[in-house]
Amino acid sequence: MTIADVANLHTFVDAFRFIGDNPHFLLEKAWQQIELSLAALALAAVVALPLGVVLGHFHRFSGLAIGASIFGRAVPSLVLIAAFLTVLGIGFANNMVALAILGTGPMLTNAYDAVDGVDRDAVDAARGMGMTGGQVLARIELPLAIPLLFTGIRIAAVTIVATAPIAAIAGGGGLGDIIVNQASYRLAGVLGASFCVMLLSAGVFLALAALQSAVTPKGLRRSTLGRAPSS
């Protein structure tokens, strides 16, 4: 092992020491990030989910649904955050909106796909039995759409949580604050915060995966009534 290798391991040890020395600070920063993410997710959900579900029910404007995803992927998060900063100024609001836009894509597309793709036979049977459109939506389409819908929420959540650190550049706070501020916190701090961010993201991912299992109606766990995602 060269001296360089020793030096590298040294920095990781320092990083862990940083974490050990500043638990409250890190937790506070982490919580800031979670707050921002939740707000953005909620905003995105309020817009994307009803829209996607309704459009899917009427099987209209599929182009919009697919386009939303492509837009969300093609526009780099940094660009979105920077652009919104110029419009809304620095602070919570601009980051929340930028992150919400990122999250809208997957939720809208998946909500649409989920409801649009419900087994047509099941829907026809329901209509034939005399259910109104709204009843079909509430009792048949939505329950069957849950797996794919929830996947969309999950992807949006993970995307938002993973992107939130970048919001630090635009005053969004959170663990990103530490990571972009090597001058103040030194490499040890930056690495420590990076670890925490990694754990946070992985934790959110696993928690949501577990939640999805719990929320999916039993009969659908391995069912073919919902449809596979289109991409």
Partner 1 sequence: MRLAGGGPVIPNFGQGSSCVTGDHVFCWGWVKAHWGDTLGPALVQHIELTLIAVAIGFAIAFPLALLAHRYHRLEQPFGTVAALLYTIPSLALFQLLVPFTGITRTTIEVALVSYTLVILFPNIMAGLRSVPADVIEAAQGMGLTRRQVLWRIELPLAVPSIIAGLRIAVVSTVAIATIAATLLRDGLGSPILDALQDPIPFKTEIYSAGLLAVALALAADTVLVALRHVLVRWPRNAE
CB of 214 to partner 1, least distance (A): 19
Q: Which of 219-224's residues contact partners 24+ apart within 8 Å by CB, and which partners?
A: 220/143, 220/144, 220/146, 220/147
| Identity of the residue, 132 or 184, whose beta carbon is nearer to partner 1 in the bound complex | 184
63-66, Cβ contacts within 8 angstroms, sequence gap of 24 or more: 64/108, 65/108, 65/109, 65/111, 65/112, 65/113, 66/109, 66/230
CB of residue 77 to partner 1, shortest distance in Å: 6
20: exposed, middle or buried (Cβ count in 10 Å: 0-12, 13-18, 19+): exposed
Give the residue with the Cβ less far from partner 1, 55 or 190. 190
Which residues 6+ apart lie within 8 Å of 25 measured at CB?
Answer: none
Binding site for partner 1 (CB under 8 A): 8-9, 11-12, 70, 73-79, 82-83, 85-86, 158, 161-166, 169-170, 176, 179-180, 187, 190-191, 193-195, 197-198, 201-202, 204-205, 230-231
C-beta of 20 vs 89, nearer to partner 1: 89
Under DSSP, the state recorded for 130 is: T
Nearer to partner 1, 86 or 218 (CB): 86
Q: How far is the CB of 54 from partner 1 (least distance, A)?
A: 23
Nearer to partner 1, 77 or 104 (CB): 77
Minimal distance in Å, beta carbon 40 to partner 1?
Answer: 14
The minimum distance between CB 28 and partner 1, in angstroms, equals 18
